[in-house]
Amino acid sequence: MKRRDALKQIGISIGYAAIAPSALSILQGCTTEAEKWVPQFLSMDEGIVIKNLVDLILPKTKTSPGALEVNVPQFIDLFAFKTFDVEAQETYKTELEATIKELRVDKPKEFQISDLNKENYDALLSTYLKSKPEDRKNYNEAQELVFSALTGLRGMSVWAYKNSKIIGEDILPYVPVPGYHKGCVDVDETTKGKAWSL
């Protein structure tokens, strides 16, 4: 299978591990100054929407940085720009367009994306990511696009977050050179209940 065909089959929500080495170099190369970020693939409005959604999906806590601190939105933009073929990029743009239209529902025509607040984004995520399978059977085409966009965004955000250097080395248990293997151990004793860093 050709590389382009393989990437096309991967999609945004599955198969990240297959291209992890090159993708992770993209993540580490993202700018750390969010105010200077100019998306390469996303429009400015799409970038704003992605940043706000990702911030709600993986917010900053007392013990760990949020997705914005480890450049997840910048990674998503570069990942789509550098690895998606034309068809995958068009599909992703279509899903983002449907998501933005959903956010604009009941808003005046002169409304700007920057006018949206946290509650608008939270309501969108709650509507779609907490929906039940029986509810999704009645989705129209636009709603299916929004659901696909949000589930894909959640999956990619978590994957990028867990594989960032800060999370992988400073937050999750990390052993750069593994020692001997212990098959049956209490995860609470060995890692305080956290998953091992990849």
Q: What is the pLDDT of residue 109?
A: 75
- Is residue 146 situated within a structural domain? yes
Could you read off the pLDDT tens digit of each residue along the chain, which spans 198 residues?
444 444 444 444 344 444 445 555 555 555 545 557 889 999 999 999 999 999 999 999 998 899 999 999 999 999 999 999 999 999 999 999 999 999 887 777 777 888 889 999 999 999 999 999 998 888 999 999 999 999 999 999 999 988 888 877 777 767 676 666 777 877 777 766 676 666
- Is residue 181 situated within a structural domain? no
> CA-CA distance, 46 to 93, in Å (whole number)?
9
Give the HSE-up count for residue 91: Cα atoms under 13 Å, Cβ half-sphere: 15
**Would you call 59 helix, strand, or coil by DSSP?**
coil
Q: What is the DSSP letter of 167?
A: I
> CA-CA distance, 141 to 34, in Å (whole number)?
34
Q: What is the pLDDT of residue 114?
A: 84
Q: What is the pLDDT of residue 197?
A: 67
Contacts of 138 by beta carbon, 8 Å cutoff, 6+ apart? none
Domain of 67 in residue numbering reads as 3-9+16-164
Q: What is the pLDDT of residue 46?
A: 94
- Is residue 195 situated within a structural domain? no
User: Model-level pTM?
Assistant: 0.74
Number of domains the chain contains: 1
∠156-157-162 over CA atoms, to 5°?
100
> CA-CA distance, 136 to 90, in Å (whole number)?
23
- Is residue 64 situated within a structural domain? yes
> CA-CA distance, 87 to 144, in Å (whole number)?
18
Residue 47 burial (CB count, 10 A)? 20
- Is residue 191 situated within a structural domain? no
Instruction: Note whether 86 and 8 are within 8 A (CB).
Output: no
- Is residue 171 situated within a structural domain? no
Q: What is the pLDDT of residue 126?
A: 94
